[in-house]
Amino acid sequence: MTLNNTISIKPFLTVNDGKKALDFYVAAFGATEKAKYELSNGKISAELAIENASFFIGDEEPEFGNLSPKTESDSPVRLILTTPNADELFDQALKFGATEICPMTTEEEWRIGKLKDPFGHIWEIGYVL
């Protein structure tokens, strides 16, 4: 047996409406669905990818302490998505319901903008110049 020694960290975003969140991330960021798990209570959990960056989403499960930023408070975690399509994805996210925090700007060696998705998660989208 060969072990995969690759180390990775994948964020798991807890949301208050998994099906709506799945639709948003696909439409706004061009995410693809890698796997989707339907739970017995109508909630979902899914693994998504934006280009080659994977992350998970899932409905709230208060009984396990999994609350979304919409329920609990603003999230202290920010997601940084680096992609050559930053301007396009930023505009697309706004079109599908994200809220602009900081417009796309060029700062030092970065082209970057910051927004909050409809589920309370903060995204910084940009690329190194």
Residue 2, in any domain of the structure: no
Distance separating alpha carbons of residues 117 and 50, to the nearest angstrom: 15
Average pLDDT, the chain: 91
Q: What is the pLDDT of residue 64?
A: 79
Residue 6, in any domain of the structure: no
Residue 75, in any domain of the structure: yes
Q: What is the pLDDT of residues 5-63, one digit of tens each?
A: 677 789 999 999 999 999 999 999 999 999 999 987 899 999 999 999 999 999 998 88
Residue 96, in any domain of the structure: yes
- Confidence tier at 2 by pLDDT (50, 70, 90): low
Q: What is the pLDDT of residue 9?
A: 81
Residue 65, in any domain of the structure: yes
**Average pLDDT of the residues in 86-113:** 95
Q: What is the pLDDT of residue 67?
A: 87
Edge-first strand listing for the sheet containing 110-116: 78-82, 122-128, 110-116, 99-107
Whole-prediction pTM value? 0.85
One-letter-per-residue 3-state SS of the chain? CCCCCCCCCCCEEEECCHHHHHHHHHHHHCCEEEEEEECCCCCEEEEEEECCEEEEEEECEHHHCECCCCCCCCCCCEEEEECCCHHHHHHHHHHCCCEEEEEEEEECCEEEEEEECCCCCEEEEEEEC
Residue 110, in any domain of the structure: yes
Q: How many structural domains are present in the chain?
A: 1
Range of the domain at 74: 12-128
Output 108 or 56, whichever has higher pLDDT: 56
CATH number where 108 lies:
3.10.180.10
In this predicted structure, the answer to whether residue 98 has a pLDDT above a threshold of 90 is: yes
Residue 91, in any domain of the structure: yes
Q: What is the pLDDT of residue 121?
A: 94
